[in-house]
A and B are shown apart, each in its own frame.
Chain A
Amino acid sequence: MSDPTPRSHASVLSRRTLLVSGAAGAAGLYGLRASGASGAVPTSLVAEAAGTVTFGSNASDPVPKKATAAVLAAFAKKTGTKVQINSVDHNTFQEQINTYLQGRPQDVFTWFAGYRMQFFAQKGLLTPIDDVWKSLAPNFSPAMRAASRGLDGHYYFVPIYNYPWAVFYRKSVFAKNGYTPPTTWDQFIALAKKMKSDGLTPIAFTDKDGWPAMGTFDILNMRINGYAFHVRLMAGKEAWDSAKVKAVFNQWRELLPHYSSGALGLTWEEGAQQLVKKEAGMYLLGSFVAQQATDPADHADLDFFPYPSINPKWGQDSLDAPIDGYLMSKHAKNVPQAKALLKFLGSAAAENIYLKTDPNDVGASNRASSAHYNALQKKAAKLIAGAKHIAQYMDRDTRPDFASTVMIPALQQFLNKPDDVNGLVSSIQKQKKAIFGT
């Protein structure tokens, strides 16, 4: 619950104002509880005006909320179908998803690609939308299409945007000190050492929230062991106490001396501030990091490079680029209009409207216009398009119970006691066996 992969700048803001989001979360929780409780009411009893489609949204923060509303308004205008939006606080939506889907969910709702979507498809809580995809397929790359299918091969998901995880830096800092973006591990470590001698914190790193460390594990595992192994490991099909996983932690240990001091007490926003204030040289994070650069000049000074290669066999062929999008619930009341809405959401027109209002992400559709992209967006789009494999981030690629109750504490334990890798991986393996049952 506590490991929301942030995906919009506004959710960032809410997390920074802990107090406010806490209060909003509590309020939202009550809302969802109530809807869960009333879930016993047969759906047929709920009068639904013809021509209305309901939409459950986790886009609670200003920018994504506005963007979502703009897209839905365009749909309503085009088809004459009324769209009823129910927005719930982002984190609360995520935490209550089990209750939500079993209660009285809206016809169409926001969610993520990856295991987090496939799990609910498998549990029979979603409607397959293969017929919608018949016309959508040409709009999306094979990777996007694969990410939209459940484990049973049917389509469930319509992607709207994604964003890459990469190493962010300030162009002015690199120019002033004569640094060049590293492409190999040795260059990366050498650069970190150079930065340290120049009085910088080489790599901003923060893990108070628990989820940011997952990004480093993901990328190191993909660089060292390859994407296919990473996916199998996340799916519970590989052992965690193998030499391959140990190699990831051993490689990671080399980075620790270059990290921010007090990393486990810092939020990712504080890490982003270190980068913005030129105290830190580099920061591995999703592109939402740019939202912490509120001054346009700082924002324009940000750039990124893909994570350096470690094993030449894989090079820089994969990355985390989580995809957000839409699903249709199992007992949707207005099936034809819900499908029409999903079809619209997968169109280039919807995408363009969304990204115009929320320019912090990259469009998922390959028909979306990139004309109005800023430099960072253009580069992000190129990075994603050029990647051979795209992962969804640990907390979306594996079972949520495993990610939150096992991996978050385990990664924090590694950061505290980096030398006991054997003990750590054997503990993870035991818990993995208990949770996955294999």
Chain B
Amino acid sequence: MAIDIATRVGTGGARRGKRAVRLSGRDRVTIGVMAGVPLLVVGGLIWFPTIASVVLSFTNWDGIGGVTTAHWVGTENYRQIATIYPPFWPAVKHNLIWLGFLAFVATPFGLLLAYQLDKRIRGSRVYQSIFFMPVVLSFAIIGFIWQLIYSPTQGLINNLFSDPSHGPVTDWLGNPKLNLWAVLVAVCWRHAGYIMILYLAGLKALDPSLREAAAIDGAGEWHAFRTVVFPALRPINIVIIVVTVIEALRAFDIVYIINRGRNGLELLSVLVTNNIIGEASRIGYGSAIAVILIVISIIPIVVFVWSNFSEKQA
């Protein structure tokens, strides 16, 4: 096809300038479909709603009677969110705690599991299956399962370690100082399994001679891991970082199923939902929170893309 185009450029393209390329009808259709369909999908499903959210975030609209009934309120929604909306700052904090917990507890734990299982200990496959099982469950189901464990009066923990029908109980789900951590344990249960599988794949693909060489050079296990194995896993590490950040920002289902993301379990994603969906219908207000979430999400994306590209150029 390249030759075909080139000859046509040579013969008839002069009048339209040097770069003009005349394509056959079939080429045009092919290119049109191949570029157009994804463009429409991305434009219609990603960019249009994103831009619409940004525009709506400057309005006050109850979602009734067409978008023309929205009032323009400028940055009022943002001002209110930052100043008088009590759940907002806790939500930001909880999203950050979520990210920190995944990055510094759940992910390293998954790595530890992967590293241990890679040693071909007996029953390795059984352990793998056990650790991986939560990953196939949705967070909504995980939330349901862990509520059976955490419920103050009917839950497993309190019934094992105390008598909930008498005296004060530990309120794993309702005490705002505790419930976030209780939920994070449940999240870790799933996230660690996910990370474990990713790392395990990376470790299996690792050239064993690297480790042998390190051992011959007299490196201890920890030293070899830190200076040889871990750096060699760099491509996997980048995937892990992306997965971890995404999981932290899109966290939603588990807190929503537990208490609709209130009372200590506020997250930005939940605030968006609580304001927009349902009878509340504060479309503009919820959109403003969504825009804030977009901005926060863009930061790691920019960092990731930038570091990836600068590395390729180097």
Contacts and interface: CB of A to CB of B under 8 A. Distances in A.
A274 interface: yes
B84 A431 contact: yes
Contacts of B166: 199
Nearest to B253: A22
A266 B171 CA distance: 9
A408 B265 CA distance: 13
B153 A98 contact: no
Contact of A209 (B259, B278, B279): B259
Interface stretch (B96-104, B139-147, B228-236): B139-147
Of the listed residues B84, B141, B151, B166, the one surrounded by the most CB atoms of chain A closer than 10 A to its CB is B84
B17 interface: no
Given A208-B173, A264-B173, 10 more contacts: A102-B64, A124-B65, A261-B169, A262-B170, A270-B153, A404-B279, A409-B86, A413-B263, A416-B263, A431-B86
B279 A274 contact: no
Interface of A: 1-2, 18-19, 22, 94-95, 97-99, 102, 116, 123-125, 199, 207-210, 260-266, 270, 273-274, 277, 279, 400-401, 404-405, 408-410, 412-413, 416, 427, 430-431, 434-435
Contact of A408 (B140, B175, B176, B262): B262
Contacts of A124: 65
B275 A405 contact: yes
Contact of B280 (A1, A22, A99, A434): A1
A266 B176 contact: no
B208 interface: no
B260 interface: yes
A2 B274 contact: yes
B80 A262 contact: no
A1 B279 contact: yes
A2 B260 contact: yes
Given A270-B154, A408-B262, A430-B84, A265 B277 contact: no
Given A98-B64, A261-B167, A270-B154, A210 B282 contact: no
B281 interface: yes
B72 interface: no
Given A19-B144, A427-B86, A405 B274 contact: yes
Interface residues of B, number: 46
Given A270-B154, A405-B275, A412-B263, A265 B280 contact: no
B164 to A, nearest CB: 8
A362 to B, nearest CB: 25
Nearest to A18: B144
Contacts of A261: 152, 164, 167-169, 171
List the 4 closest pairs (A to B, CB-CB), nearest first.
A1-B278, A265-B174, A264-B174, A262-B152
A207 B263 CA distance: 10
Contacts of B274: 1-2, 404-405
Contact of A94 (B164, B172, B258, B278): B278
B68 to A, nearest CB: 13
B256 to A, nearest CB: 9
A350 B12 CA distance: 83
Interface in B105-160: 140-141, 144, 147, 150-154
B147 A18 contact: yes
B257 interface: yes
